[in-house]
């Protein structure tokens, strides 16, 4: 499986988003992770489609948009028009999961389904054929900078055994050490916010993450 690093802009300097994106681009990040929160599905509010559209105009790295919102189906077109390449939404949302996946695909984006720590991985199985990626959350969604939950690894192992070819993403508390644990369990797409942007040299950190994901 290809290793992909997806820096989460949530931990970047919001006053200098274009410069922060360039750091990721230069360092060879395969994806850019954009966290959308509605203050309802999770207790926090972040950015929406207009900001993503503006960023898309200044960045050539594919956008990995993580929707932590209650009714994703209502907003799929907006995020597709804004330039999302992958749209991830949660299995625990209020929209119909199958319909939402079909909507993402009909808008020309790749579809991914996320599970919170308390949700069994089997929840994604009925939809796996249409999914490019499954996101196994390694923290409770809502905030950056939380501690990695190692007890999520069995979910990744189980999913990898069931679906050898699907992209498995992890998000939350990923750093140069925890990335090895996740890679060993079978994950191949790694979101990292604080580890990248709170480091002295984000570009060097991205390279180190990539290296460590390969050295499991
Ligand atoms: C949390 C978000 C994450 C967050 C990760 O709900 O989905 O993408 O930015 O931040 P770190 O890497 O700092 O745990
Ligand atoms: Zn995220």
For the CA of 141, the nearest atom of ligand 1: 6
Q: Whose CA is nearest to atom 7 of ligand 1?
A: 141
- Report whether 54 contacts 77 (CB < 8 A): no
Percent of the chain with pLDDT over 90: 99
Give the tens place of pLDDT for each residue, 34-62.
999 999 999 999 999 999 999 999 999 99
Q: Closest by alpha carbon to 135, among 212, 84, 189, 210?
A: 189
pLDDT at 82: 98
CA atoms within 13 A on the CB side of 79: 32
Does 81 participate in catalysis according to the annotation?
Answer: no
Please measure the distance between the N-terminal and C-terminal CA atoms of the chain and give it in whole angstroms: 13
Kindly report the number of other CB atoms within 10 A of residue 26's CB atom. Answer: 11
* Residue 65 confidence (pLDDT) above 80: yes
pLDDT per position as a tens digit, 144-156: 999 999 999 999 9
146 lines ligand 1 (CB under 6 A): yes
From the CA of 197, how far away is ligand 2's center (Å)? 14
């Amino acid at each position: 499986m290809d290793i992909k690093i997806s820096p989460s802009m949530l931990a970047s300097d919001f006053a200098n988003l274009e410069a922060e994106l360039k750091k990721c681009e230069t360092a060879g990040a395969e994806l850019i992770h954009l966290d959308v929160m509605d203050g309802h599905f999770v207790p926090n509010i972040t950015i929406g489609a207009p900001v993503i559209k503006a960023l898309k105009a200044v960045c050539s790295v594919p956008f990995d948009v993580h929707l932590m919102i209650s009714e994703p189906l209502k907003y799929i077109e907006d995020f597709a028009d804004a330039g999302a390449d992958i749209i991830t939404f949660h299995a625990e949302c209020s929209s119909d999961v199958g319909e939402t996946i079909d909507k993402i695909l009909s808008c020309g984006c790749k579809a991914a389904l996320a599970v919170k720590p308390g949700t069994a991985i089997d929840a994604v199985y009925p939809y796996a054929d249409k999914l490019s990626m499954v996101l196994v959350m390694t923290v409770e969604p809502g905030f950056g900078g939380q501690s990695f939950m190692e007890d999520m690894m069995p979910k990744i192992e189980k999913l990898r055994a069931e679906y050898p070819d699907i992209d498995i993403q992890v998000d939350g508390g990923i750093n140069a050490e925890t990335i090895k644990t996740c890679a060993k369990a079978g994950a191949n797409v790694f979101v990292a916010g604080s580890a990248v942007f709170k480091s002295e040299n984000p570009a060097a950190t991205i390279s180190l993450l990539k290296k460590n994901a390969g050295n499991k």
